[in-house]
């Protein structure tokens, strides 16, 4: 019923850019908080950026000013524009949706981002 499919990951050089996409089905952005997480090998999964159902946005301090989260309601797609990438941004990036009215949460399969030094 609910499906989140990430795409757009890949290998880039430091200082480069990538745009990640999360195609959502079975949910609506006005009822869910959407977020990007990432997890590097040996590390905990960490929150990167979040956009609430009301449109509020916040970023982890490590990416603020470099990354931009946005959503397209018509396409039901969440985006993460990543600029000025650093090697420490290397991780698997996951799309997350959290329902506003129940303890329901969904995850995408993840997309690998590798930033070469």
Mean pLDDT of the chain: 97
Q: What is the DSSP letter of 31?
A: G
How remote is the C-alpha of 19 from its chain's centroid? 10
pLDDT at 103: 93
User: For 33-64, how does the pLDDT look when each residue is reduced to its tens digit (9 = 90+)?
Assistant: 999 999 999 999 999 999 999 999 999 999 99
Structural contact between residues 67 and 49, judged by C-beta atoms closer than 8 angstroms:
yes
Q: What is the pLDDT of residue 99?
A: 95
Residues of the chain above pLDDT 90, percent = 98
pLDDT of residue 15: 98
Overall average pLDDT of the 94-106 stretch: 95
Position 73 confidence tier, pLDDT thresholds 50, 70, 90: very high
Cβ neighbourhood burial of 32 (10 Å; 0-12, 13-18, 19+): buried
Predicted pLDDT of residue 78? 98
């Amino acid at each position: 019923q609910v499906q989140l499919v990430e795409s757009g990951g890949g290998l880039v050089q430091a200082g480069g850019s990538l745009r990640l996409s999360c195609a959502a089905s079975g949910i609506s952005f006005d009822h869910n908080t959407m977020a990007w997480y990432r997890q590097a090998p040996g590390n905990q999964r960490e929150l990167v950026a979040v956009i609430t159902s009301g449109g509020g946005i916040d970023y982890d301090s490590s990416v603020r000013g470099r990354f931009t989260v946005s959503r397209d309601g018509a396409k039901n797609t969440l985006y993460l524009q990543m600029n000025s990438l650093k090697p420490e941004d290397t991780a698997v990036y996951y799309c997350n949706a959290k329902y506003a009215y129940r303890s329901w949460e969904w995850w995408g399969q993840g997309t690998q981002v590798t930033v070469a030094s």
